[in-house]
Amino acid sequence: MIRCILFDRDGTLGSLGDDRYPATFTPFCPIRPVFEALQARGYTVGILSNQSSIARGTGRGYDFDAEFRSYGADVWRICPHDTADNCNCRKPGSGMLLSVADELAAPLRDCIVVGDRLSDVLCAENVGATGILVLTGKGQQEKEAALAQFPSLTILSRFDEVIPYLDQLEADTTRIP
Ligand SMILES: [Zn+2]
């Protein structure tokens, strides 16, 4: 039973006007109503964001906590490292997901990670959670490689599509044959 929906930020919840600067973020559609709709259905909603912008300096001082709080997110993690730091939190590493699952005492099989990159899918699938690819951001570019590795991968056009997707999933699960 899916309990926890974790979204990537850049390319998934919205796009950046300038890739280097997290402050140039514009949501693809209003985020808070989507989060509220999920929470009303009983899901815990969170954000897992790679922010090498912090390691590089361009994201330093940006208040991610305030932003994520304004969406009403229940939980979030930010990786402040760059690839060269070899941390275990930067996706495709699963460190942020494991940390959230631990905090919520949620089994990994009950967690979904929604993102526009294969690295988001890997972060989930490598530890027994479910990855979903969205076609915004880098999604179109990453789709082929992601499907090659995960032929039954769920692909959605945009992050808010997760609501009808979960409604269908729920209907399928509860249907009595
Ligand atoms: Zn990290």
Per-residue model confidence as pLDDT tens digits over 37-58? 999 999 999 999 999 999 999 9
CATH code of the domain made up of 4-174: 3.40.50.1000
The helices-and-strands tally (H runs, E runs) of the chain is 7, 8
Q: How far is the CA of 14 from the centre of ligand 1 (A)?
A: 21
d(CA 13, CA 104) in angstroms, rounded, equals 22
pLDDT tier at 177, thresholds 50, 70, 90: low
- Reported pTM: 0.96
Domain-wise residue ranges, the chain: 4-174
- Select which of 10, 116, 120, 160 is catalytic: 10
Helix (H, G, I), strand (E, B) or coil at 21: coil
Q: How far is the CA of 87 from the centre of ligand 1 (A)?
A: 5
10 is catalytic: yes
